[in-house]
A and B are shown apart, each in its own frame.
Chain A
């Protein structure tokens, strides 16, 4: 069994070859005893501030066209574009790197795009020995008229103590998406209140099992159901204070919607990005409350539900009976200008351009623009595509009724929900019965992030 695996001759050759390589190595090490020199070749300059005259801009891959559009419109501008992951998927790259640069006291980029919309909560706060990273934009850096052009409330996540620290790239307002053809075939009417929605879900579950009316398997479930119900579980009351009441009546009624739907199967507990969701529910999504980007990410996506042209309809956010409709928001990127920038005017011009100019926001942007005039043109263009069964005015309506009682604290509400509630919902537990668990988790997270909980 223990046979020597190779002939001696070959062995010697290998040994000699290796010895030659390492011999040279060892000689070098013994010969001087000095540490080896740094290989300098291939090194490129730091990607921090590009110095006077120019700016360095960090964007994610999806926003690279925005920077290109700016350069096309301003060919003389000295802009170095660096692509990074955009802090997507909880990577917190933006925050991590800024913390390091704060420690080093240098290295900050001039403009940063982030896919998160709660970065202003920390970027507006000073760290020991440093200015806050984010420059105040409404003190003259950005034209007040431009600021007023943003959809009402869209700059809320950027606003800390009345000062605007970032510009919103896009909105992700929650609307009610539905399959017009399936509605007609099954003989249902699009609901106009949450009460009707619950009733219709119950009927669907009884009459057409397997057809669903929504999903609660993703981390943004609280933004869709709780936020849209005015649940006061996330009321940021100051730069470092928050009020959490997860068992208020508004939260309970939203939790009841979730529990009823999960119990009768009309709401799926699968993530909309899970393979099993696509396999089970293609052609079986009757309706789905969800953010604006569901259209491109799920319905009109060949890798996902791939709903054919002319079927996807969109309805305005549902009100509770006797109340005005409000809605939630799931994401939407933000643009920051560095307070350390040596060229803040150019940096401000840049963020103004990419958030408002037609060349990017209308012609190329994948998401609903936060800047109202651009949004109007963007919608018109989307409608022209002929994909939708209805007009898209519901999106405009939803954009202006995002409830301002749901804050953007430094920690992620989605992560709290995903961690504490998703396993519970998956296992068939009741959300109503566990609202206090959820509230406790939020309070804990708030405290370790330095918040005073009221």
Chain B
């Protein structure tokens, strides 16, 4: 119990070197800096640098001159923009709920399986779809969503769909994308959560059981608080991934020969701007807008999830 409470009340510390008492003879060691140095180099080269460049692009025109907010104004006024923004919002709402609830539940259930081989088999079954990505799954969804050739045909027929084009009507798309994204993405997160649950010391769980707590109560009062950081991390990354919706509509666009448009989501629109219209500035503007939204939403979860706090004992 004590551990759970400790984890739930993280101690916030100011940035910078610790001010607390330290073993006297040693000054701040260089080792931590050396440990993060290689990563920092990569971060600058392939993360921060490109991001700053994109930011710069979004405020300049094709010849490199300062453009103010022209790029932003142009992309927001694009007739496709409002629709794409609505699509993304719908998708993110649906998918995030689906993902968080089901991943946590499934991870708890997998963790509760007592037979080792069953647990392994379940993790495997849940994970395998994650190995299929991009081009590999175009074919799969072309058939899966077809009421005539799909193994899920009875279900599709039950819902009143007679043909592939029926299934992918515009109103169905957010659900379809959420299902595809869940199918491919959930397994990985179940693995992460499973690992996190495994990290909870046996004695904590044992103590709770001796106290007479049932599996549901243990999950709610002990396991969940202890994996809170992981859940926060999942929410933030999934939020970002959700706002960057790209793969699912792109593959259905391919499978349906463009009945699902290739500018369905904002990120696809950014892609179209860059590579179809050769307008890298407009593209960068959309990306920056997406980033701002993700950051705003994420900061809420970061603050509430204690993600940056080191676990102080």
Query: Chain A residues in contact with chain B, CB under 8 A?
Result: 1-6, 26, 29-30, 33-36, 89-92, 95-96, 99-100, 102-103, 122, 127-129, 217-219, 269-271, 273-276, 279, 412, 414-415, 418-419, 422-423, 426-427, 444, 447-450
Contact: A275 with B258, CB < 8 Å?
no
Task: Kindly state the separation between the CA atoms of A298 and B255 in the bound complex, as whole angstroms.
Answer: 18
Decide yes or no: A448 and B79 within 8 Å by CB, A2-B112, A92-B276 being known contacts.
Answer: yes
In chain B, what residue has the closest Cβ to A275?
B149
Which residues of A are found within 8 Å of B262, using beta-carbon distances? 90, 415
In chain B, what residue has the closest Cβ to A220?
B257
Which residues of A are found within 8 Å of B260, using beta-carbon distances? 419
Q: Say if the beta carbon of B165 comes within 8 Å of chain A.
A: yes
Checking A33, A271, A449 against B257 with a beta-carbon cut-off of 8 angstroms, the contacting residue is A271
In chain B, what residue has the closest Cβ to A425?
B165
Which residues of A are found within 8 Å of B63, using beta-carbon distances? 128-129
Contact: A217 with B35, CB < 8 Å?
no
* 15 A-B pairs in the complex with CB atoms less than 8 angstroms apart: A1-B112, A1-B215, A5-B119, A30-B35, A34-B38, A90-B254, A96-B275, A99-B275, A275-B146, A276-B163, A414-B258, A415-B258, A419-B261, A422-B259, A450-B277
Across the A-B interface, the 9 shortest Cβ-Cβ residue pairs: A276-B148, A418-B258, A96-B275, A275-B149, A426-B165, A419-B261, A415-B258, A128-B62, A35-B41
Task: Kindly state the separation between the CA atoms of A263 and B202 in the bound complex, as whole angstroms.
Answer: 68
Using A96-B275, A99-B278, A448-B78 as known contacts, list a sample of 13 further A-B pairs with CB atoms less than 8 Å apart, ordered by residue number in A: A2-B202, A5-B116, A5-B119, A33-B38, A35-B38, A90-B257, A92-B275, A127-B62, A219-B258, A270-B163, A422-B259, A426-B163, A448-B80
Contact: B276 with A95, CB < 8 Å?
yes
Which residues of A are found within 8 Å of B122, using beta-carbon distances? none
Contact: A127 with B38, CB < 8 Å?
no
Q: Say if the beta carbon of B274 comes within 8 Å of chain A.
A: yes
Which residues of B are found within 8 Å of A128, using beta-carbon distances? 62-63
Which residues of B are found within 8 Å of A35, using beta-carbon distances? 38, 41-42
Task: Kindly state the separation between the CA atoms of A313 and B127 in the bound complex, as whole angstroms.
Answer: 52
Contact: B80 with A271, CB < 8 Å?
no
Q: Say if the beta carbon of B31 comes within 8 Å of chain A.
A: yes
Task: Kindly state the separation between the CA atoms of A103 and B278 in the bound complex, as whole angstroms.
Answer: 9
Contact: B31 with A30, CB < 8 Å?
yes
Q: How far is the CB of A15 from chain B (nearest CB, A)?
A: 14
Which residues of B are found within 8 Å of A449, using beta-carbon distances? 276-277
Checking B147, B170, B274, B280 against A423 with a beta-carbon cut-off of 8 angstroms, the contacting residue is B170
Decide yes or no: A274 and B163 within 8 Å by CB, A2-B205, A92-B275, A419-B258 being known contacts.
Answer: yes
Q: Say if the beta carbon of B18 comes within 8 Å of chain A.
A: no
Interface residues of B in 178-225 (CB under 8 A from A): 202, 205-206, 209, 215
Task: Kindly state the separation between the CA atoms of A128 and B279 in the bound complex, as whole angstroms.
Answer: 10
Q: Say if the beta carbon of B256 comes within 8 Å of chain A.
A: yes
Q: Say if the beta carbon of B95 comes within 8 Å of chain A.
A: no
In chain A, what residue has the closest Cβ to B261?
A419
Task: Kindly state the separation between the CA atoms of A415 and B259 in the bound complex, as whole angstroms.
Answer: 7
Q: How far is the CB of B247 from chain A (nearest CB, A)?
A: 14
Contact: A418 with B254, CB < 8 Å?
no
Contact: B119 with A102, CB < 8 Å?
no
Contact: A418 with B259, CB < 8 Å?
yes
Q: Say if the beta carbon of B141 comes within 8 Å of chain A.
A: no
Q: Say if the beta carbon of B301 comes within 8 Å of chain A.
A: no
Contact: A99 with B149, CB < 8 Å?
no
In chain B, what residue has the closest Cβ to A125?
B278
Q: Say if the beta carbon of B137 comes within 8 Å of chain A.
A: no
Q: Say if the beta carbon of B15 comes within 8 Å of chain A.
A: no
Checking B41, B148, B257 against A219 with a beta-carbon cut-off of 8 angstroms, the contacting residue is B257
In chain A, what residue has the closest Cβ to B262?
A90
Decide yes or no: A217 and B165 within 8 Å by CB, A275-B146, A444-B79 being known contacts.
Answer: yes
In chain B, what residue has the closest Cβ to A88?
B254
Task: Kindly state the separation between the CA atoms of A99 and B272 in the bound complex, as whole angstroms.
Answer: 12
Q: How far is the CB of A46 from chain B (nearest CB, A)?
A: 20
Which residues of B are found within 8 Å of A96, using beta-carbon distances? 275-276
Task: Kindly state the separation between the CA atoms of A89 and B31 in the bound complex, as whole angstroms.
Answer: 53
Task: Kindly state the separation between the CA atoms of A3 and B206 in the bound complex, as whole angstroms.
Answer: 10
Contact: B280 with A103, CB < 8 Å?
yes
Contact: B278 with A127, CB < 8 Å?
yes
Which residues of B are found within 8 Å of A95, using beta-carbon distances? 275-276
Which residues of A are found within 8 Å of B258, using beta-carbon distances? 90, 219, 412, 414-415, 418-419
Task: Kindly state the separation between the CA atoms of A279 and B146 in the bound complex, as whole angstroms.
Answer: 13
Task: Kindly state the separation between the CA atoms of A96 and B258 in the bound complex, as whole angstroms.
Answer: 18
In chain A, what residue has the closest Cβ to B253?
A90
Task: Kindly state the separation between the CA atoms of A450 and B205 in the bound complex, as whole angstroms.
Answer: 64
Contact: B146 with A274, CB < 8 Å?
yes
Q: How far is the CB of B131 from chain A (nearest CB, A)?
A: 22
Checking A29, A275, A422, A426 against B38 with a beta-carbon cut-off of 8 angstroms, the contacting residue is A29
Q: How far is the CB of B64 from chain A (nearest CB, A)?
A: 9
Which residues of A are found within 8 Å of B158, using beta-carbon distances? none
Which residues of B are found within 8 Å of A6, using beta-carbon distances? 116
Q: How far is the CB of A11 from chain B (nearest CB, A)?
A: 12
Checking B79, B209, B274 against A99 with a beta-carbon cut-off of 8 angstroms, the contacting residue is B274
Decide yes or no: A4 and B280 within 8 Å by CB, A35-B41, A217-B165 being known contacts.
Answer: no
Task: Kindly state the separation between the CA atoms of A183 and B274 in the bound complex, as whole angstroms.
Answer: 51
Which residues of B are found within 8 Å of A5, using beta-carbon distances? 116, 119
Which residues of B are found within 8 Å of A2, using beta-carbon distances? 112, 114, 202, 205-206, 209
Q: How far is the CB of A105 from chain B (nearest CB, A)?
A: 14
Contact: A3 with B62, CB < 8 Å?
no
Q: How far is the CB of B209 from chain A (nearest CB, A)?
A: 8
Contact: A427 with B277, CB < 8 Å?
no
